[in-house]
Amino acid sequence: MTPSGRTNQLLYQAELLLTLPDGEDEHAPGRRRASLEGALAMTELALNSLMREVTEHTGLQTFDWRRLLRDSTPAPAEISHLRELAAEPDSWLFQLLTSLEALHGCDGVSPGGRLGVTAMIATAGPSPGERLSRQLREFKALLAAFRESSREW
């Protein structure tokens, strides 16, 4: 499989996980959390795959998104653009990276942290799944732009 094919596959799988039904039994909160965290993990793999995709012809020795986004050495235009997005608190990538950091923490990314907590708090904002869906749409739009500019070269 090509790096671009793998990126596409991982994004598709992340979207599939977000659409799985929760059910209505006592395991619904656990399934909801598993779907969200699984989708986020797939998105992280897709981000790593994107790094491989945009750097495959540069001779870089690493494709790790953490290293490439935090490094300040000269990089391909796509990586520079991603670095700018990662530094902008209102951007989808900044918010995604924040969620990825939480994913690797003890509490994960689900509201309330623990699965047994069922108290609900009304909020006007989107759910974590809706936020991730929006971030996936933005990711795919940027991916399409990167691929288009790559074809032009």
Domain that holds residue 128: 3-151
% of residues, the chain, pLDDT over 70: 88
Looking at per-residue pLDDT, the higher value among 144 and 109 belongs to: 144
- What is the per-residue pLDDT for 121? 54
Per residue in 87-115, pLDDT (tens digit) is 999 999 999 999 999 999 988 886 554 44
- The two tokens of residue 32 are 């909801």
Cα angle: 136, vertex 42, 127; to 5 degrees? 50
Number of domains into which the chain is organized: 1
Q: Residue 131 in contact with residue 149, Cβ under 8 Å?
A: no
Burial of residue 38 (number of CB atoms within 10 Å: 0-12, 13-18, 19+): middle
**Least confident among 5-9, 37-41, 55-59, 148-152:** 148-152
pTM: 0.86
The 10s digit of each residue's pLDDT in 29-75 is: 999 999 999 999 999 999 999 999 888 777 777 788 998 998 888 88
